[in-house]
Amino acid sequence: MRKIVLAAVLLAAFPAAAPVAAQDSAGGVVRVEKPVTGEQVYGQVCQACHMADAKGATGAGTIPALANNPRLAGAAYPIMVVTGGKGAMPGFSGMLSNAQMAEAITYVRTHFGNNYAKPVTEADVAKLAKPPPAASH
């Protein structure tokens, strides 16, 4: 079951991440909109597991709720989980940009009953990110 979810997520995430580089080269080619805001990144990537209401799920595996989650109070923990992965959650370094991860983390820290207003910046992510696995480069 877990593998199926992961495959679906990777399929959802890669086309979203790919145009990031392509879009910067001129040419006016219209491509799939890349997720920019935290809400878009959440909707395209995180929601597949954490659910639209961020309450997580239980089934073949347990997906923790991000809603009303005191573990999001500090920025370091979610940055490390999102960049480097944890347990059944894949790390997104190399797949999403630091800016996209910063936006997504800021989004979950300020929505779903969480009120941790200080935005997580791209620089915060760069500082704390675990590098992508060597095999991916």
Site residues (vs ligand HEC, CB under 6 A)? 5-6, 9, 41, 45-46, 48-50, 61, 63-64, 66, 69, 71-72, 78, 81-82, 86-90, 92, 104-105, 108
| Residue 13 or 28 having the CB closest to ligand HEC | 13
| Minimum separation from the CB atom of position 120 to ligand HEC (A) | 10
| Residue 28 or 77 having the CB closest to ligand HEC | 77
The pairs formed by 4-12 with CB atoms below 8 angstroms and a separation of 24 or more are 5/48, 5/49, 5/60, 5/61, 6/88, 6/90, 8/48, 9/45, 9/48, 9/49, 9/90, 10/90, 12/44, 12/45, 12/48
| Minimum separation from the CB atom of position 25 to ligand HEC (A) | 26
Contact 75, 105 (CB under 8 A): yes
| Residue 28 or 76 having the CB closest to ligand HEC | 76
| Residue 8 or 32 having the CB closest to ligand HEC | 8
Contact 91, 84 (CB under 8 A): yes
Q: Which two tokens stand for residue 2?
A: 């877990």
Give the CB-nearest residue to ligand HEC: 87
